[in-house]
Structure 1
Amino acid sequence: MKYDWILFDADETLFHFDAYTGMKLMFERFGVDFTRDDYREYQQVNLPLWVDYQEGKISADQLKHIRFEGWAKKLDTTPLTLNSAFLEAMADICTLLPGAKELIQSLSGKAKLGIITNGFTELQAIRLERTGMSEYFEHVVISEEVGIAKPDLGIFDHALELMGHPCKSKVLMVGDNPHSDVLGGLNFGIETCWLNPKGKDKPDNIEPHYEVASLYELQTKLLA
């Protein structure tokens, strides 16, 4: 095994993140029929907030608050209540991506494993537990707890410190987001793997060390 440590993103790298289905379930619990049009409208607010969060312009708390402000007024509740209900619904529908369990089990004992995620704390532990994955990861580094999000080098620094400062050449970052996962890892000086199941075009000036279409392909590459 070339690497001593393999770090994974969480959403759409290890776990399915079907936000529409999660929101539909969450709003159903509030007695609301949430439609695709409602979702598109929500994403017009939500997606730019995630960009601002990753660029350090807003905090996790601001993101949680602003994205549900409109719906909270309609339902006479608070944005944080809706945010928690959403994360609970996402935990309830949580599934692993194809090949995730096999990959992690095959790497266990051959390299140390960690997670670096920009997702929220409330969702991470429960998801790992429900999917039987908790035992495999030495460290789960969550941007909300660290106060910095990928691609900021600070979150990678924090992870490296927890890991006991291994040689960077022995660390691999795996993720589906070319900007936060791949560019973040490259700028930090570690090797990277872009999980690209939909065959998207590579953004200019971002050159991962590996590109794979599935976690099965990654398993083959790493254990060859």
Structure 2
Amino acid sequence: MKYDWIFFDADETLFHFDAFKGLQLMFERKGVDFNEQDFATYQEVNKPLWVDYQNGDITADQLKHTRFEFWANKLGTTPAELNSAFLDAMGDICSVLPGAKELMASLVGKAQVGIITNGFTDLQAIRLARTGMDQYVKHVIISEQVGMAKPDVAIFEHALERVGNPCKTRVLMVGDNLHSDILGGLNFGIETCWLNPHGVNATDEIKPHYTVRSLSELNDILHA
């Protein structure tokens, strides 16, 4: 095996993250019919917040608060309560991507596995436990706890320190986001694999070491 450590992004790399389905479930539990137009309106607020968060312009708490401010006012509750309810719902619908468990099982005894995620703390342990992925993952590095989000090199530095500072040439970062996962890994000086299931064209500026359409394809590369 070429690598001693393989770090994965979480959302849409190891786990499905269907925000619409999660929001529908959360609001259904509150007696609210949340439709596609509601989701589109939510995303108009939510998506720019994630860009600001990844750029270090706002904190995790600010993101959590602002994205649910409208609905909190409408329902007479707090953004914190809605955020917590949303993460609970996402935990209830969690599932792994095709090939994720097979890939993890194939790495046992050959490479160690970690997660570096910009997702929030509350959801990670629940998903790992419910999907049985916790038996494979040694370390979970969460931007909310580190105080820096991908693509900032500081979160990658923190991750390597946590696992004993292995040689960078023996570390691979796998993720679906060309900017936060791949550019972040490249800037830090480690090899990268872009999980690109939809065949999106890469940019000239960001060149991953590998591009795969599935985790099964990555499994084949790692064991070649």
Q: With the length of structure 2 as denominator, give the TM-score of the two structures.
A: 0.99
**Aligned residue number for residue 14 of structure 2:** 14
Determine whether 1:50 maps to 2:50. Answer: yes
**Aligned residue number for residue 211 of structure 2:** 211
**Aligned residue number for residue 86 of structure 2:** 86
Query: Which residues in structure 2 correspond to 1:1-224 (within 5 Å)?
Result: 1-224=1-224
Distance (Å, rounded) in 1 between the aligned partners of 2:211 and 2:150: 19
Distance (Å, rounded) in 1 between the aligned partners of 2:204 and 2:11: 23
Distance (Å, rounded) in 2 between the aligned partners of 1:66 and 1:128: 27
Secondary structure of residue in 1 paired with 2:148: coil
Give the drift of 1:135.
1.6
Secondary structure of residue in 1 paired with 2:165: coil
Give the drift of 1:138.
1.3
Distance (Å, rounded) in 2 between the aligned partners of 1:78 and 1:50: 20
Q: For residues 37-89 of structure 1, what are the alpha-carbon distances to aligned partners after superposition, in whole Å with 9 as ceiling and x for unaligned?
A: 00000000000000000000000000000000000000000001000000000
Give the drift of 1:204.
2.9
Q: For residues 129-179 of structure 1, what are the alpha-carbon distances to aligned partners after superposition, in whole Å with 9 as ceiling and x for unaligned?
A: 000011211110000111110000110010010110100000000000000
Q: For residues 180-224 of structure 1, what are the alpha-carbon distances to aligned partners after superposition, in whole Å with 9 as ceiling and x for unaligned?
A: 000000000000000000001102300000000000000000011
Secondary structure of residue in 2 paired with 1:138: strand
Unaligned 5+ segments in structure 1 are none
Give the length in aligned residue pairs.
224
Structure 1 segments of 4+ aligned residues over 3 angstroms from their partners: none
Q: For residues 85-142 of structure 1, what are the alpha-carbon distances to aligned partners after superposition, in whole Å with 9 as ceiling and x for unaligned?
A: 0000000000000000000110111001100000000000000000001121111000
Q: For residues 4-55 of structure 1, what are the alpha-carbon distances to aligned partners after superposition, in whole Å with 9 as ceiling and x for unaligned?
A: 1000000000000000000000000111000000000000000000000000
